[in-house]
Structure 1
Amino acid sequence: MQDAGEGADPWLLTLHHSPIGMAMVGLDGRLLMVNLAMSEMLGYGVEELTQRGFQELTHADDLDADLVLFRQALAGEIDSYRLRKRYLHAAGHVVWGDLSVALVRSPDGTPLHFISQILDITAAERERQSLEAVFETVTVGLLLIGPDGRYERMNRRHQETMHLPFPDGHEGEAGQLGHVYHLDGHTLMARDDMPSFRATQGEEFDDYTYWVGDDPATRRAFSTSARQVRGPSGERLGAALAYQELTELLRAMKVKDEFISSVSHELRTPLTSVLGYLELLRDDDSLTPEARAQVLTIQRNAVRLQALVSDLLQVGQVGEGSLRIRYADADLTALVRDAVEAARQDAAGRGIEIAVEAPVSLVARVDEQRIRQVLDNLLSNALKYSRTGGSVVATLHETSDAVVLEVSDTGIGIAADEVEHVFARFFRGGGALEQHIPGTGLGLNIVSSIVAAHGGEVSLESELGRGSTFRVVLPRTEG
């Protein structure tokens, strides 16, 4: 196309200078005029392109769809159309184009020619195809939900598992009820608990775990995370959910818990017998001082073994869901002072100062025996990880709706990347391992379980080399 001079048709000037590929196309498909942008996009000279038709520039797999729309426009069925298709570059590679076509007619309605606009979307299309490949090949199920709660898209991995919770089919709307169970494997989820419904309410969460499937033998476990999808102005466009299967992991953990519980039960009876006979043997006046010292060593280690078995049984109770809380009014101040006094001898032996900061009396409705377990574990933990000359303080106070118990120490502290793991079963921090501090990694897990059973929360603030503070918050419970 030649340069347009002064007085030229404004439309021709627009066509010529447009940064988007533009062409005037004859009724037979031949390119009558093309601009420089289209020439550069397809790698042909302007004059060379005007000797070709769009049919020979179009990828064979996309030609039929283009011709159908082209003929519908000529027949008067449509005035314009839009199509994403592939063009063949002069160098032999493919160029993806977003094609918009409009038919120009004379005043009497006779078709004259087509005006085509082609936006080069090759880079965007390659990115889309890459994302599509990732979307379909990842090992987690992916789901996209629109702002109205309707399912917009899911990958093959997610679709393959939909028959388990919804054997009769899914209506494609968030919150539909099916064979979806809480982590106990018995309690069916209500609509408000369904991960898809929670996501449509604007929630974001990680590792929301549950079971799906009516038959316990074939039931599967999933961990779901959700994130909100937002537009440029922050408006909510929907939610994206990722589903990861955890069936084998949870079943393995259950087998492990059952094994631990079984072994602990089997160990408890002979240990009780051993400790009884050791006590009788220790009181035997015929023992020499050397023999008595050896008996005391055996007894001390047997007591440690009994404490470990007790912890394992406690963990087993939690795993089976049989941890029971027996509420009664208890003076927590007296409970804290008694626990500190019981730990004072151990503290003195380690050269550690131990103190209490509490009101004269603070009565709350709790399971006194279980809260004493919490206190004993936290105090023992604080003393174990404190250095000679350090201090441990147990603090008790109340708020308008809760009771707060804190145990602080000036010990070795816990690394920031380990804080979130301290309440997990059998976890031992790097500092404890390096300094060969004895322990099983069960005490804090038991603390967490007891506090959770009370409807409370336990948290940790720690700094390496400066110490730690464990904070237990128990809600006020009415009688």
Structure 2
Amino acid sequence: MPKNISLVKDKLFENIFNYAKGGIAIVGMRGEWIKVNDSIVKQLGYSEEELYKISFQDITHKDDLDIDLENMRLLVQGKIENYEIEKRYFHKNGDIIWALLSVSLVRDEQGLPMYFISQIHDISKQKTDRDQLRVMLNVAKEQNSRLASFAEIITHNLRTHSSNLMILFEFLEEESHSLVKDENFELLKESIFNLNETVTHLTEVAKIKSVEESKIEALNLSDFVTRAIYNVSALAKNINCTIINQVDVSARVKGIPAFLDSIILNFITNAMKYRSPNRDAVIKLSSEVKDDFVVFHVEDNGLGIDLEKFGDKIFQMYKTFHRNKDAIGIGLFITKNHIESIGGHVEVKSRVDSGTTFSVFLKAA
């Protein structure tokens, strides 16, 4: 190779070595620093001269030293070609520096080990961020657990008190016939019934929790849809509603049987409840696969929802969008939470006086 080309290559290598953003070092077989670039000097706080007087073992955290030395031994024995580990170095000022260390071995023409090339990237900030995130997640988990316990206690107590009120009211109704005709007594009766209904709803909401992966089963979506259609067949016949089932018989989803039953039944009965008085109700059920999800579509030709007006309120608790006397605004709220608790989500498309399509994304089994 011409001498000038060799010099150019040597200069190029030197520039890459010195000005690389990450730390690069040539380390001897006993762990001594042979050559380091500016990034390592900045990361560790030692000057080049200071580093050349010590070995990497001198500034490695003792808990990380053994795994580093073991990997070096495997490199020398030819059992691995390179390795990458997270390890801690001591900065000159005593601080701990977390680094991502990548190491490879250079051999001579006879295959004998000459030196190690180490790439050292400071990941202290990422480690700190990860640790903070882990702490925050643990705090959130603990808070959620406390809130769940609080909700259970509150709903239990409310249920007890409302039941007692109902029993006392019934005693009064039986024993004091004169009160039955009193207008205030009727108002009290209605308030107690409303309280009981609210407590029932809150109890259902309090039961909704994220589901452990071990409790989720592989379920045949078509079987559950068929059963739901059978359960509403009398109602469908009574209101002259046609249900078209085009769900793939082989579609399998991850879920909890009780949740899946509730989800499907809720959307079908909702479509019936909000049918248009101007035409016979038609509900079309279908499925498709999208990425890791089986999407269950429930399409109707009913009243529809003004999404510009109510789009962000559809799944909120106690929100209703039509003057249906049976509507209380709890079903969609609970259904959405059931869907999300098994790792899915729901989307909605709707046009006023044209119909609504709910698309339920369920994890494919």
TM bucket (normalised to shorter chain) is 0.5 to 0.7
> Displacement, 1:320?
6.9
- Give yes or no for the alignment of 1:451 onto 2:327: yes
Quick check: 1:87–1:95 contact (8 Å CA) kept in 2?
A: yes
Assess, with a 3 A threshold, how the Cα gap between structure 1 residues 141 and 311 changes in structure 2: closer, same or farther. closer
Assess, with a 3 A threshold, how the Cα gap between structure 1 residues 36 and 274 changes in structure 2: closer, same or farther. closer
- Equivalences for residues 38-437 of structure 1 within 5 A: 38-140=40-142, 246-274=151-179, 302-313=182-193, 316=196, 398=278, 400-401=280-281
> Displacement, 1:87?
0.7
Structure 1 unmatched runs, 5+: 143-156, 158-220, 224-243, 277-301, 331-370, 372-395, 405-415, 424-443, 458-470
Q: SS where residue 84 of structure 1 aligns? A: strand
Residue of structure 1 equivalent to 2:34: 32
Q: SS where residue 68 of structure 1 aligns? A: helix
> Displacement, 1:421?
6.7
Q: Deviations over 1:184-224 (max 9, x none)?
A: xxxxxxxxxxxxxxxxxxxxxxxxxxxxxxxxxxxxx997x
> Displacement, 1:14?
1.8
Higher relative contact order (Cα pairs below 8 Å, separated by 6+ residues): 2
Q: SS where residue 10 of structure 2 aligns? A: coil
Higher helix share: 2
In 2: Cα distance, 1:5 partner to 1:403 partner:
81
In 1: Cα distance, 2:198 partner to 2:324 partner:
10
Quick check: 1:105–1:113 contact (8 Å CA) kept in 2?
A: yes
In 1: Cα distance, 2:19 partner to 2:74 partner:
30
Assess, with a 3 A threshold, how the Cα gap between structure 1 residues 305 and 98 changes in structure 2: closer, same or farther. same
RMSD: 4.7
In 2: Cα distance, 1:97 partner to 1:43 partner:
14
> Displacement, 1:17?
1.6
- Answer with 1 or 2: which has the greater Rg: 1
Assess, with a 3 A threshold, how the Cα gap between structure 1 residues 320 and 89 changes in structure 2: closer, same or farther. closer
Residue of structure 1 equivalent to 2:215: none
Q: SS where residue 307 of structure 1 aligns? A: helix
Letter of the 1:110 counterpart:
L
> Displacement, 1:43?
0.7
Q: Percent identity?
A: 23
Assess, with a 3 A threshold, how the Cα gap between structure 1 residues 275 and 38 changes in structure 2: closer, same or farther. closer
Quick check: 2:28–2:116 contact (8 Å CA) kept in 1?
A: yes
In 1: Cα distance, 2:24 partner to 2:50 partner:
15
User: How many residues align structurally?
Assistant: 237
Assess, with a 3 A threshold, how the Cα gap between structure 1 residues 399 and 90 changes in structure 2: closer, same or farther. farther
In 2: Cα distance, 1:318 partner to 1:77 partner:
68
Residue of structure 2 equivalent to 1:17: 19
Structure 2 unmatched runs, 5+: 1-5, 202-233, 240-272, 282-300, 304-311, 334-351, 357-365
Q: SS where residue 24 of structure 1 aligns? A: strand
In 2: Cα distance, 1:45 partner to 1:121 partner:
21
Quick check: 1:22–1:116 contact (8 Å CA) kept in 2?
A: yes
> Displacement, 1:6?
4.7
